[in-house]
Amino acid sequence: MVATISHWVDGKRWDGTSSRTAPVTNPATGAATGEVRLASTADVDVVVQRATAAFETWRDVPLNRRARILFAFRELLEARTDALAHAITAEHGKVVADAMGEVARGAEVVEFACGIPTLLAGRYSEQVASGVDTWSVRQPVGVAAGITPFNFPAMVPMWMHPIAIACGNAFVLKPSERDPSASMLVAETWADAGLPEGVFSVVHGDAEAVDALCTHPGVATVSFVGSTAVARHVYETAANAGKRVQALGGAKNHMIVLPDADLDVAADAAVSAGYGSAGERCMAISVVVAIEPVADDLVARIRERAAALAVGDGADPGNDMGPLVTAAHRERVAGYVDTGVDEGAQLVLDGRDVAVAGLDDGFWLGPCLFDRVEPSMRIYRDEIFGPVLSVVRAPTYEDAVRLVNENAYGNGVALFTRDGGAARRFQREIEAGMVGINVPIPVPMAYYSFGGWGQSLFGDTHVHGLEGVHFYTRGKVVTARWSDPATRGPDLGFPTNR
Ligand code: NAD
């Protein structure tokens, strides 16, 4: 009998009323390890109602008490990192060291949110008119929903809930149905940290639950991270229902290598950022743009390093790369490799036949490297989301920048060079939300905000950092008059603050 993963409501597991479930699989073995409940619209209604009730008291909890719970959550999270990482690896497939890294990056957002008493401080202006003072405050929005993808089952939700909760909201998480266990461990950790019941809920589900959250009148804001098609759908549906929405979509991240770059450093970076987590990262490098004089040399160095990567069970610390998340996704990515060959790109490293001894049913795909990819090819245009790196050759720096700026996505981008002037020009003229200079995956620290441009973001607010605090609060400005005992009579003129 397989274990059934339930929702988390009012500080405990809750089965809901829907009998629909989805299988949960270990991608390294291909074996089903459990099933997860898929909420109905009625189930979502129950969860939102419980969250609304919890919000009514949580909003009034003093800032220092909220911060103390966040500090406790941070400590427990650190103590449970190992358990959380192994749970992630068992359902996602990434190597344990990578899973530990995602928990650590998520914890940085918690650390940022611990400063909530300072982050929520407003501004005050004395004597804006005679006897009149003005100040600004930021107040919680109510129930905030988060809908998240499979590829970072701990970190991406933590871009959202620590800040939403710190700001005084109740948070409802709808995690990916492919790796749902991490969110349950996080829910238990919040409860153990002393968070009142109902402030953090988990509702598992698929499109029905997502649409129910996007249209529920009790939900004030929707934060979404996932593929571009669903991001657009969530943005339109929730915005039509009058909600504040931030919807982060897919990506096609380029790394430009100038001829003056250290090619060993660039090749190491391309391999780490291209094949880490089997390429299932929204900030993965999927295109290397090699400026012609160094292209042959760079491709050779990347190929040599990629061919040496150890592919196998993510739970084995000797491996660099685990399996893909599902059999269907493995077939989709392998299909793109077939497409690239048909389109005429040069496959210089083919991972399609990689096998792992003793794990015949795992969803394996080894590193694949294409050279001489053209911008018209589907392997260039589409987000593949697997261990497939494309090299596009560009004659000049200007050609490389044009290529990046014409791409529909605009999440991350990187430049490798030793020339400070070129780097400065690049960061000014490149069109992407996150820019790396000799840094292949420029994910901002928690006190800055994360988000892309173009088809990588619908809405105008990035996640975490100050933009996160703004997203989960509403601004209010108070203007108050306390007159001196000598008061004036009525004045029907328009207030001019003179
Ligand atoms: P996905 O879009 O399939 O799923 C994301 C969420 O949407 C899940 O919770 C899923 O249950 C739900 N969902 C799926 N189909 C839906 C539908 N038709 N209607 C309503 N809801 C639906 O994404 P994924 O495969 O889980 O994750 C990979 C994608 O996420 C990639 O495109 C990747 O680039 C993107 N991603 C982006 C960022 C970023 O910061 N921009 C970060 C991580 C992942």
Label residue 492 exposed, middle or buried (CB < 10 Å: 0-12, 13-18, 19+).
exposed
For 395-446, write each residue's pLDDT tens digit. Answer: 999 999 999 999 999 999 999 999 999 999 999 999 999 999 999 999 999 9
pLDDT at 493: 79
Q: How do strand 31-37 and strand 3-5 relate by DSSP bridges?
A: parallel
pLDDT at 1: 58
Token pair for residue 52?
A: 């609304």
- Residue 498: band (very low, low, confident or very high) from pLDDT cuts 50, 70, 90: low
Helices (H), 363-484: 378-381, 397-406, 420-429, 465-471
Average pLDDT value for residue range 385-401 = 98
For 39-75, write each residue's pLDDT tens digit. Answer: 999 999 999 999 999 999 999 999 999 999 999 999 9
> Does ligand 1 lie within 6 Å of residue 7's CB atom?
no
Name the E strands within 283-371.
285-291, 346-349, 368-371
pLDDT at 488: 66
Q: Pick the closest to residue 282 from 97, 104, 155, 96 (CA basis).
A: 155
- Residue 367: band (very low, low, confident or very high) from pLDDT cuts 50, 70, 90: very high
For 19-49, write each residue's pLDDT tens digit. Answer: 999 999 999 999 999 999 999 999 999 999 9
Mean pLDDT score of the chain, rounded to an integer? 97
Percent of all residues in the chain with a pLDDT value above 90, rounded to a whole number: 96
For 3-18, write each residue's pLDDT tens digit. Answer: 899 999 999 999 999 9
* CA separation, residue 348 to residues 104, 367, 371, 434 (Å): 35, 10, 7, 29
For 76-89, write each residue's pLDDT tens digit. Answer: 999 999 999 999 99
- Residue 487: band (very low, low, confident or very high) from pLDDT cuts 50, 70, 90: low
Kindly report the protein residue whose alpha carbon is nearest to atom 36 of ligand 1. 226
Residue 1: how many CB atoms within 10 A of its CB? 4
pLDDT at 237 over 90: yes
pLDDT at 497: 62
pLDDT at 158 over 70: yes
Contact 317, 284 (CB under 8 A): no
CA–CA distance, 286 with 273 (Å, rounded to integer)? 8
Ligand 1 centre to CA of 192 (Å) is 29
Q: What is the Cα gyration radius of the chain?
A: 25
Q: Which amino acid is at 258?
A: L
Asked if 282 is an active-site residue, the reply is yes
- For residues 56-66, b (16+ Cβ closer than 10 Å) or e, as one string? eebbeeebeeb
Ligand 1 centre to CA of 419 (Å) is 37
Contact 386, 279 (CB under 8 A): yes
Global pTM reads 0.96
Kindly report the protein residue whose alpha carbon is nearest to atom 26 of ligand 1. 149
* CA separation, residue 327 to residues 28, 153, 260, 360 (Å): 10, 19, 42, 12
CA–CA distance, 379 with 389 (Å, rounded to integer)? 9
Kindly report the protein residue whose alpha carbon is nearest to atom 38 of ligand 1. 282
Ligand 1 centre to CA of 393 (Å) is 31
Q: Which amino acid is at 497?
A: N
- Residue 2: band (very low, low, confident or very high) from pLDDT cuts 50, 70, 90: confident
Among the listed residues 114, 167, 214, 282, the single catalytic one is: 282
For 94-149, write each residue's pLDDT tens digit. Answer: 999 999 999 999 999 999 999 999 999 999 999 999 999 999 999 999 999 999 99
Ligand 1 centre to CA of 40 (Å) is 19
The DSSP-derived string for 334-357 is: HHHHHHHHHHT-EEEE--TT---T
Query: What is the separation of C-alpha 125 from the centre of its chain, rounded to a whole number of angstroms?
Result: 38
Q: What kind and span of H or E run contains 53?
A: helix 41-58
Kindly report the protein residue whose alpha carbon is nearest to atom 24 of ligand 1. 149
pLDDT at 484: 78
pLDDT at 227: 98
- Residue 332: band (very low, low, confident or very high) from pLDDT cuts 50, 70, 90: very high
CA–CA distance, 478 with 435 (Å, rounded to integer)? 39
pLDDT at 86: 98
pLDDT at 495: 72
Token pair for residue 195?
A: 């968070």
